[in-house]
């Protein structure tokens, strides 16, 4: 075989048919990459001839087929991108029948573009994190009585999942498992003892209650005043709740008590006599709690799985003392608002652009000088309905910080662009333009721009400073005194003293 420079030529045989190419020679590089192919027609091996003529009809068919294949590829790519963009939610249930009993809630999540993956809580193939990456964006646990999760999932892994930015929705129930208890404790909430439930003899549903007054009717006055989390609470109908109570830990400053009990509610075993002090009474009873971590990950805990069931979402409320009048429950509206918040469909802020410069000059300087007039602007966007829109607020502030803030001022809003103009302090050093925006329901917005502020150069000072006039006077008086002293010292001459001989002659 003849060896050519960095290429090898070798024949490859093909079945021989009339009017087709019988063999072909392929040219490969040393790395095995196909470089060129030369075809040899049947019956003329070793010679080169033109390929057979192709009819116009077959040519048009080939073009049409190519266009169809291109369209199919584009549609496939679009579908794959849609799946890749959609948030993946792992839903852990005790049994897969929960997909039917809570179908309205799950369907609402799918209608909003989420991809749900249902697994039983004890599935041996479960995994939240693999090779340091999150397998899912969110986790929903509708398995109140689970004592131990399957696969690699544990309370520690779920906590790590939240630390890595994942979001969490957990429901409880009267027969609460140890895993859910430990998970709630990690986030600042403690479920009451097993077999206990929230009881309220003055606020229960007369049609759905089983006689123990555990089907609670919660009103909008019991909700947290945070529209991003609870929706429009002023328009919300009464909410049905049947489940266990929680107590929030006061040392967790990030906790939010979304739904609390009334002054007549308490937590106890409904089938046992009340012979000891209840675990939680009055407004200590927390029915829905939420946490937004310092990394903006969100978690919602509730003691009622039935709160999200089809029966409660579509029920009509018959509150005790209201007679036969009924209103549709507000569970659907509240569940939608809670799920939108915890899945980060609402209340998400981001910084689009930050700029700062000298007043009247659009270029960013390498450093500023003390007492410069500076303009600062920041563009903030809010995620609403899946679209980033300009954020509107009147309480965004800017701090100009060295160690402590030297300047704190409100930013004027103009269609999401917050700006201000101020004078730098008369103290040089390394400063930061700091925007630290913390509001209930919103993600923590934190932006820092570090700049240097130098003192005035020697040629930037005024020629004469008014406060230095006394020093100027003392300097000139000293100079004048030196001149006078020198003049007197040089030109003054003492009268000559009489000698002793002169005095004797005189005598």
Residue ranges per structural domain of the chain: 1-45, 82-342, 349-454, 464-491
CA distance 172 to 488: 104
* pLDDT of amino acid 24: 39
Rounded to 5 degrees, what are φ and ψ at 373?
A: -90, 120
What is the sign, positive or negative, of the torsion defined by CA atoms of 403, 357, 354, 411? positive
What CATH topology corresponds to 349-454? Immunoglobulin-like (2.60.40)
State yes or no: pLDDT of 228 exceeds 90.
yes
Q: How many C-beta atoms lie closer than 10 Å to residue 132's C-beta?
A: 6
| DSSP helix/strand/coil, 436 | strand
State yes or no: pLDDT of 461 exceeds 80.
no
Q: Are 334 and 317 in contact (CB under 8 A)?
A: no
Cα 29 to Cα 5, 8, 9, 232, 383, distances in angstroms: 10, 7, 9, 69, 53
CA distance 261 to 223: 9
Q: How many C-beta atoms lie closer than 10 Å to residue 100's C-beta?
A: 9
- If phi > 0 it is left, if psi is from -120 to 50 it is alpha, else beta; for residue 347 that is left
Which tokens go with 304? 């009622």
* pLDDT of amino acid 462: 77
Nearest to 208 by CA among 117, 311, 290: 311
Cα 131 to Cα 87, 127, 128, 135, 347, distances in angstroms: 19, 11, 10, 10, 30
Total number of residues shown for the chain:
507
State yes or no: pLDDT of 297 exceeds 60.
yes
* pLDDT of amino acid 19: 39
Q: What is the arithmetic mean of pLDDT over 473-501?
A: 83
Nearest to 214 by CA among 248, 242, 256, 246: 242
Q: What is the arithmetic mean of pLDDT over 378-395?
A: 93
More confident residue, 365 or 53: 365
Rounded to 5 degrees, what are φ and ψ at 151?
A: 65, -140
* pLDDT of amino acid 39: 39
CA distance 325 to 316: 10
Q: Are 245 and 287 in contact (CB under 8 A)?
A: yes
What is the sign, positive or negative, of the torsion defined by CA atoms of 136, 139, 142, 145? positive
* pLDDT of amino acid 241: 96
State yes or no: pLDDT of 494 exceeds 90.
no
* pLDDT of amino acid 418: 95
Which of 50-54, 457-461, 475-479 tops mean pLDDT? 475-479
* pLDDT of amino acid 409: 94
Question: pLDDT tens across 74-125, in order?
Answer: 555 544 444 444 689 999 999 999 999 999 999 999 999 999 999 999 999 9
Residue 369 carries which DSSP code?
E
* For helices 178-186 and 155-163, angle between their N-to-C axes, nearest 10 degrees: 30
Average model confidence (pLDDT) for the chain? Answer: 84
DSSP 66-100: HHHHHHHHHHHHHHHHHHHHSPEEEEEESSTTHHH
CA distance 75 to 53: 34
Lowest-confidence pick of 14-23, 51-60, 181-190, 424-433: 14-23
Q: Are 303 and 243 in contact (CB under 8 A)?
A: yes
Q: Which CATH class is domain 82-342?
A: alpha beta
Which tokens go with 448? 């820092």
* pLDDT of amino acid 305: 95
* pLDDT of amino acid 468: 83
CA distance 372 to 405: 17
More confident residue, 131 or 500: 131
DSSP 295-341: TS-EEEEES-SGGGSHHHHT-EE-BTTSTT--EE-SHHHHHHHHHHH
Q: What is the arithmetic mean of pLDDT over 273-277?
A: 90
Q: What is the arithmetic mean of pLDDT over 449-473?
A: 85
Surface-to-core class of residue 116, CB atoms within 10 Å of its CB (0-12 exposed, 13-18 middle, 19+ buried): middle
Question: pLDDT tens across 229-273, in order?
Answer: 999 888 899 999 999 999 999 889 999 999 999 999 999 999 999
* pLDDT of amino acid 73: 61
Q: What contacts 186, CB < 8 A, 6 or more positions away?
A: 155, 159
* pLDDT of amino acid 266: 95
Cα 180 to Cα 151, 257, 271, 430, 469, distances in angstroms: 16, 18, 23, 48, 77
Beta bridge partners of 88: 115
Q: What is the arithmetic mean of pLDDT over 5-12?
A: 41
Q: What contacts 374, CB < 8 A, 6 or more positions away?
A: 356, 357, 358, 359, 368, 421, 422, 423, 424
State yes or no: pLDDT of 30 exceeds 60.
no
* pLDDT of amino acid 83: 40
Using only the alpha carbons of the chain, give its radius of gyration: 41
Surface-to-core class of residue 187, CB atoms within 10 Å of its CB (0-12 exposed, 13-18 middle, 19+ buried): buried
Q: What is the arithmetic mean of pLDDT over 275-296?
A: 93
Which tokens go with 149? 């999760």
CA distance 148 to 477: 92
Q: Give the pTM.
A: 0.75
Lowest-confidence pick of 2-11, 117-126, 484-493: 2-11
Q: What is the arithmetic mean of pLDDT over 383-399?
A: 92
């Amino acid at each position: 075989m003849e060896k050519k420079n960095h290429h090898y030529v070798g024949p490859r045989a093909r079945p021989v048919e009339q009017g087709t190419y019988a063999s072909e020679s392929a040219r490969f590089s040393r790395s095995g990459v196909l470089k060129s192919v030369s075809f040899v027609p049947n019956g003329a091996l070793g010679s080169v001839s033109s390929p057979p003529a192709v009819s116009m009809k077959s040519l048009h068919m080939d073009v049409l087929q190519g266009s169809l294949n291109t369209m199919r590829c584009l549609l496939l790519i679009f579908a794959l991108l849609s799946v890749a963009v959609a948030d993946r939610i792992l839903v852990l249930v005790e049994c897969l029948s929960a997909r039917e009993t809570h179908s309205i809630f799950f369907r609402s999540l799918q209608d909003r573009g989420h991809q749900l993956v249902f697994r039983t809580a004890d599935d041996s193939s479960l995994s939240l994190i693999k090779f340091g990456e999150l397998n899912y964006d969110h986790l929903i646990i509708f398995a109140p009585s689970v004592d131990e999760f399957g696969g690699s999932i544990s309370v520690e892994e779920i906590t790590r999942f939240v630390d890595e930015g994942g979001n969490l929705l957990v429901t409880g129930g009267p027969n609460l498992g140890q895993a859910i208890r430990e998970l709630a404790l990690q986030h600042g909430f403690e479920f009451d003892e097993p077999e206990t439930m929230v009881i309220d003899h003055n606020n229960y549903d007369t049609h759905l209650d089983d006689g123990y007054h555990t089907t609670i009717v919660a009103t909008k006055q019991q909700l947290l005043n945070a529209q991003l989390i609870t929706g429009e609470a002023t328009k919300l109908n009464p909410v049905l709740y049947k489940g266990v109570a929680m107590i929030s830990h006061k040392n967790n400053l990030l906790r939010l008590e979304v739904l609390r009990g009334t002054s007549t509610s308490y937590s106890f075993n409904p089938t046992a006599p009340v012979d000891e002090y209840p675990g939680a009474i009055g407004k200590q009873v927390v029915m829905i709690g939420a946490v937004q971590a310092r990394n903006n990950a969100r978690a919602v805990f509730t003691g009622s799985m039935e709160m999200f069931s089809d029966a409660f979402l579509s029920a009509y409320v018959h509150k005790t003392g209201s007679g036969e009048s009924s209103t549709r429950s507000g569970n659907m509206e509240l569940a939608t608002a809670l799920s939108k918040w915890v899945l980060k469909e609402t209340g998400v802020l981001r910084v689009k652009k930050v700029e700062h410069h000298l007043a009247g000059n659009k270029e960013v300087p390498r450093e500023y000088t003390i007492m410069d007039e500076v303009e600062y602007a920041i563009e903030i966007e809010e995620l609403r309905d899946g679209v980033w829109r300009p954020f509107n607020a009147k309480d965004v502030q800017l701090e100009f910080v060295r160690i402590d803030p030297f300047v704190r001022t409100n930013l004027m809003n103009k269609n999401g662009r917050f700006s201000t103009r101020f004078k730098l302090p008369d103290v040089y050093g390394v400063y930061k333009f700091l925007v630290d925006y913390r509001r209930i329901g919103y993600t923590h917005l934190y932006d820092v721009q570090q700049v240097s502020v130098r003192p005035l150069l020697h040629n930037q000072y005024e020629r004469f400073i008014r406060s230095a006039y006394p020093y100027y006077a003392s300097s000139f008086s000293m100079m004048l005194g030196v001149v006078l002293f020198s003049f007197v010292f040089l030109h003054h001459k003492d009268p000559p003293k009489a000698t002793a001989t002169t005095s004797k002659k005189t005598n």
